[in-house]
Amino acid sequence: MSTTGSRNYRPNLHFTPPAMWTNDPNGMVYVNGVYHLFYQHYPKAPHWGPMHWGHAVSRDLLHWEHQPIALYPDEMGYIYSGSCVYDKENVSGYGTKEEPPLVALYTNHDPDGEQRQCLAYSTDGVHFEKTIHNPVIPNPGISDFRDPKVFYNPVKNCWSLVLAAKDRVHFYQSADLKHWEKTGEFGPEENLAPGIWECPDLFQARTEDGDSIWVLVVSMLMDTEDGRSRTQYFLGDFDGDRFFVTEKADEVLWLDFGFDNYAGVIFQNMEEPVLLGWAMNWEYANETPTGEYCGQMTLARKLRVGRTDRGLRLISEFVGLEKLTARLEEVEGPQKLESETFLLEMEGTGTIVLSNEQGEELIVEVTEDEILADRSRAGEQEFQKSFPTPAYSALSVPRLRKDGRLLLVFDVSVLEVFADDGAVPVTMVAYPTKPYDRVAAEGAGKVRICQWKEQ
Ligand code: FRU
């Protein structure tokens, strides 16, 4: 693939690597006012390759400062996805109580062999040492065995982790983050969307009536026609060893209804769950027309659980966009766009059309019953064979909260729509060959916009 790209598609607010390839967010952890984002990275080409962990830090989840590569492939293989925790009590012994270490658990993937879980630690938040005791969780004879997500277990007051094991997840616990003992499994009997499970996460989210509920998130390489890579979740309880579904649903609960939000997990060491995903789909990830970089993260979204017309569902809220929401101005008629990045709010039903002089259009529509999004004429399509097909062009989702408002962020080549007050998130990339320079709202209720300027 060429590294020049057709034009600069780099978003302003969404994280992109300094150059070359990224997929999953990894090791996200919040320490003393700083958000750490590690990420699957191949620094030598804008396509997937031997995986490293790239690293960036931010104080506001919008401006990221690149850091040196944190983990390089080694004699055990590539560095696949995993997580970091801030080991405040220094149970691992890799730091001190005064200067607690960051402890990373990740998968080593041997391209000719197996996958197993390994540990690395850092005392300065930048440089990582791998332990000589790796692997800390050897492979139990399962070909897909990866993506450990460590979390604090409030039931047993210890560290636990959840990892993906082919068509299910396994839970482990540890007193020192180094020795791990299996405590249980979940799936596949509750799963309505078969596939290979990847990048699980387990956390508690607040409900709108003041309680909390456990959420198990799993990304899946799908066997079905629902699109290649999607993320679903289950709502239930965690007894300290295992997870159980308590809110049975007769449909798959999708974390996002768009084509491009995968492998999302939450930051460790925060009061409330804040998730970032990879804003891409494996189906065409390696062939996007972005040139010298490839792949980006979603914006950060805070998650809670709310009652909707179809039962309890995750509700997403943008984090870090307060400056934009404070400056929203009414859209009267079709309006010129001065910026390739903007936030828009719509109350009620209506259609929003972003367009350019090439006649390219990205369309989002809210009807009485559905949320629709259509990128079939939004810009470049032919860079890969599936991208222009109906399965990846347009979608419609039943509404979940009919009186809810819609917030939309468009950022150069990434669209994130939070419809129905955040109950229907839709994330997708689009590649307009010229920037969209016009926004029109047809038959719409009140529409307000704030265009972004670098500050
Ligand atoms: C998910 C995934 C993970 C794996 C990583 C490899 O997108 O397939 O399961 O650890 O990407 O880059």
Please give the Cα distance from 255 to 253 (Å, whole number).
7
For each successive 10 residues of the chain (455 residues), what is the average pLDDT?
A: 76 98 98 98 98 98 97 97 98 97 98 96 98 97 98 98 98 98 95 93 95 97 80 98 96 96 98 98 96 97 96 97 90 92 96 97 97 98 95 96 94 98 98 97 91 81
Phi first, then psi: give them for residue 228, nearest 5 degrees: -60, -55
Q: Do 99 and 165 fall into the same domain?
A: yes
Residue nearest ligand 1's atom 6 by CA: 80
Rounded to whole angstroms, what are the CA distances from 369 to 180, 306, 307?
A: 48, 19, 17
Please give the Cα distance from 336 to 333 (Å, whole number).
10
Which pLDDT belongs to residue 453?
Answer: 87
Q: Do 291 and 239 fall into the same domain?
A: yes
Which pLDDT belongs to residue 403?
Answer: 86
Q: Do 55 and 194 fall into the same domain?
A: yes
Q: Do 191 and 252 fall into the same domain?
A: yes
Tokens 């990894």: give the residue.
Answer: 26
Query: Ligand 1 centroid vs 11 CA: distance in angstroms?
Result: 23
Q: Which of 274, 294, 318 is the last residue of a domain?
A: 318
Which pLDDT belongs to residue 194?
Answer: 86
Contact 135, 122 (CB under 8 A): no
Q: Do 314 and 336 fall into the same domain?
A: no
Is 382 within the bounds of a domain? yes
- Residue 80 CA: which ligand 1 atom is closest? 10
Residue nearest ligand 1's atom 12 by CA: 80
Query: Ligand 1 centroid vs 293 CA: distance in angstroms?
Result: 18
Does the C-beta of 147 come closer than 6 Å to ligand 1?
Answer: yes
Q: Do 342 and 400 fall into the same domain?
A: yes
Token pair in block for residue 238: 């965690």
Tokens 């209720």: give the residue.
Answer: 445
Which pLDDT belongs to residue 326?
Answer: 86
Q: Which of 265, 293, 318 is the last residue of a domain?
A: 318
Residue nearest ligand 1's atom 9 by CA: 198
Which pLDDT belongs to residue 3?
Answer: 61
209 catalytic per annotation: no
Best mutation site among 20, 78, 80, 221 for ligand 1 pocket (most ligand atoms within 8 Å of CB): 80
Rounded to whole angstroms, what are the CA distances from 5 to 10, 126, 383?
A: 11, 31, 11
pTM of the model: 0.97
- Residue 40 CA: which ligand 1 atom is closest? 12
Q: Do 304 and 366 fall into the same domain?
A: no
How far out from the chain centre does Cα 278 lie? 5
Please give the Cα distance from 181 to 344 (Å, whole number).
48
- Residue 198 CA: which ligand 1 atom is closest? 9
Number of residues that this document lists for the chain: 455
Structural domain range at position 128: 20-318
Which pLDDT belongs to residue 455?
Answer: 56
Is 412 within the bounds of a domain? yes
Phi first, then psi: give them for residue 441, nearest 5 degrees: -120, 115
Does the C-beta of 238 come closer than 6 Å to ligand 1?
Answer: no
Is 306 within the bounds of a domain? yes
Q: Which of 279, 299, 318 is the last residue of a domain?
A: 318
Query: Ligand 1 centroid vs 327 CA: distance in angstroms?
Result: 39
- Residue 147 CA: which ligand 1 atom is closest? 10
Which pLDDT belongs to residue 269?
Answer: 98
Q: Do 65 and 209 fall into the same domain?
A: yes
Q: Do 143 and 277 fall into the same domain?
A: yes
Give the CATH number, domain containing residue 241: 2.115.10.20
Number of domains in the chain: 2
- Give 390's strand partners: none
Is 370 within the bounds of a domain? yes
Mean of all residue pLDDT scores within the chain: 96
Query: Residue 75, class by beta-carbon neighbours within 10 Å (0-12 exposed, 13-18 middle, 19+ buried)?
Result: exposed
Q: Do 375 and 287 fall into the same domain?
A: no
Q: Do 393 and 405 fall into the same domain?
A: yes
Give the CATH number, domain containing residue 368: 2.60.120.560
Return the closest-CA partner of residue 202 out of 162, 167, 174, 173: 162
Which pLDDT belongs to residue 1?
Answer: 45
Q: Do 306 and 388 fall into the same domain?
A: no
